[in-house]
Amino acid sequence: MTIRNGHYPVQTGDEIMWYFDEEVEAEMFDAAGLRKRRSPSNAKQAIEFKDPSPITKQQKKVRDITYAERAILKRPAFIKPCIMGVNGEGATRGDKSRVIGTACSNAGSYERVDIKISRQTL
């Protein structure tokens, strides 16, 4: 299947996951597409302001938007390589469940890429 790539380059053999543009706007990924670790400063600010959740306002916006609202806004999901990391950085267990296939070709940002669709749940 040929689809359009998202913000991050894809290499042949990469596991491909989907993500929403709001996650990029919330700076949840670095320039290479690796998921960033939540900084301890966010947790400290949350405690000082009596916020029950140690995540930023933008991350709350991403978390709280429903799939129905997303469909009305017609914001598409994009694809990117699923980069597993270490020490809290990189893909999370939730990201692993977003894997939809494997890249069959290389592609830059927003280029067309061939992927082999595989089972999402293993």
Check residues 59 and 42 and name the one with the higher pLDDT.
Answer: 59
* CA nearest neighbour of 27 among 18, 19, 35, 16: 35
Query: How does DSSP assign 52-121, residue by residue?
Result: SS-S-HHHHHHHH--HHHHHHHTPPEEEEE--B-STT-SB-HHHHTTEEEEESS-B-TT-EEEEEE--S-
Question: What is the DSSP pairing of strand 15-20 with strand 112-117?
Answer: unpaired
Q: Average of pLDDT values for 94-109?
A: 89
Tens of pLDDT, residues 10-47: 999 999 999 988 788 778 888 888 887 766 554 454 45
Share of the chain above pLDDT 90, in %: 28
Q: Tens digit of pLDDT for each residue in 66-76?
A: 666 666 666 77
